[in-house]
Amino acid sequence: MSLTSKTIVITGASSGIGAETARLARFMGAKVIGMDRNDPAITLDGFVQVDLSDPASIDAAVSALPERVDALVNAAGISGLADRDLVAKVNYLGLRHLTEALVPRLSGGAVVNVTSILGFDWQARLDAHKALAETADFAAGLKWLADNPVPQETCYQYFKEALVVWTKKRGYRLFMDHDIRVNSVAPGPVMTPILGEFVQMLGEERVAADAANIKRPAIADEIAPPILFLCSDAARWITGINLPVDGGIDALYT
């Protein structure tokens, strides 16, 4: 599997899964352009600062990207400790806005979204997630959410579920119309800077119960290779999947 001569844009490239994916992609021969609110701490081939909660910032960032992009990795995200409206913008609406803006540059390429094992129950709210997925743009999505408010305590899970559904629905259409593959990976707990926030978000009792059923949290360099596989030509006939990369947690729900 090679990424030689491919141009890959990675959001959240300044830390965690995004940074590790950027490092590995460059090692595999790709030209990597990072996008993040914070300056990168790793070597990149280019960097564009962006606020994914602001569509104007996203549009300005897109104008600074190359005319041809082979893959987009949407790895940026915030925990459910943030206000639910900000979680909606960063983890779903902004991600979607960026992806749609890059469609003309991605023909024949790939998009990989980072969801979460916490989005495993997406089918329980499928109708709502479909309705949100069908909103036309960032502003329409905000209006839909104002009319259908999401509880603060489960907003992280909700928008990861919504992202799974959008990946499947939009992934099918983009593949048929533009030959763009859209997939997602769903990590379990990962040793990243925001892991402690997830402990606060879920509560120590829930975390302890989950910890008893897994070997350990993942390391970011265990998540990056499946992401880059889905970016590569080796995955040219895969679209619309949500791949658990979680050390077996998904199997517990079967």
> Is 125's pLDDT higher than 90?
yes
Cα–Cα distance for residue pair 19/11, rounded to 1 Å: 9
> What range defines the domain where residue 21 resides?
7-249
Burial zone of 194 (CB within 10 Å; 0-12 exposed, 13-18 middle, 19+ buried): middle
Q: In the prediction, which pLDDT does 201 show?
A: 79
Phi, psi of 63 (to 5 degrees): -65, -20
- 2 lies in some domain: no
Q: In the prediction, which pLDDT does 49 show?
A: 98
> Is 70's pLDDT higher than 70?
yes
The SS3 assignment for 242 reads strand
- 254 lies in some domain: no
Q: In the prediction, which pLDDT does 197 show?
A: 75
Angle (CA) 120-231-99 rounded to 5° is 70
> Is 114's pLDDT higher than 90?
yes
- 1 lies in some domain: no
| Count of domains observed in the chain | 1
CATH of the domain at 213: 3.40.50.720
- 62 lies in some domain: yes
Cα–Cα distance for residue pair 169/240, rounded to 1 Å: 7
- 35 lies in some domain: yes
> Is 253's pLDDT higher than 80?
no
In the structure encoding, which two tokens stand for residue 16, read together? 């965690």
Q: What is the pLDDT of residues 19-54, one digit of tens each?
A: 999 999 999 999 999 999 999 999 999 999 999 999
Q: In the prediction, which pLDDT does 60 show?
A: 98
Tell me the average pLDDT of the chain.
Answer: 94
Mean pLDDT throughout 160-184?
98
Residues marked as catalytic: 156
Q: What is the pLDDT of residues 189-234, one digit of tens each?
A: 888 776 677 677 767 677 667 767 788 888 999 999 999 999 999 9
